Amino acid sequence: MKIFDKMGNEHATVDEAIAAEKEYDEAVAKEKARKENLAAERKERAKEVEEAYKAILEAQKAYNEKLDAFVKDYGSFHMTVKTGDNNPFNLFEPLFGFRGLFG
């Protein structure tokens, strides 16, 4: 007599088929849990990136308001831009692929 498990594999005994199905079900459940955890982690990290981006936009808005007020009062504004992490052009690197061009 031939005994097949639900994956279509042949086994010598019913107990072997049941054990193989149990092992398969555990592997499927483990993979499903892993994928769910990855999706949850990705969603959380994407939320962190979005919040950081919103903080940049808010800071940029505050900067523009202060700059506009300064220019309105004094006519112009001059600032020396240095290379490195404090370079404001670094904000454009991820958007336009300028990595290393300005800093």
Neighbours of 48 (CB within 10 A): 9
* Residue 41 vs residues 3, 50, 94: alpha-carbon distances, Å: 42, 14, 22
**Which residue has tokens 């892993």?**
34
Can you give the length of the chain in residues?
A: 103
What is the pLDDT at residue 54? 94
Cβ atoms of residues 103 and 88 within 8 Å: no
Please say whether the dihedral angle defined by the alpha carbons of residues 56, 43, 95 and 88, taken in this order, is positive or negative: positive
What is the pLDDT at residue 24? 95
Q: Residue ranges of the domains in the chain?
A: 3-76
What is the pLDDT at residue 100? 47
pLDDT, tens digit, 9 for 90 and up, residues 30-81 = 999 999 999 999 999 999 999 999 998 999 899 999 999 999 999 999 987 6
Please tell me the distance from the alpha carbon of residue 18 to that of residue 75, in angstroms, as a whole number: 83
Q: In the predicted model, is pLDDT for residue 17 greater than 70?
A: yes
Q: What is the pTM of this model?
A: 0.56
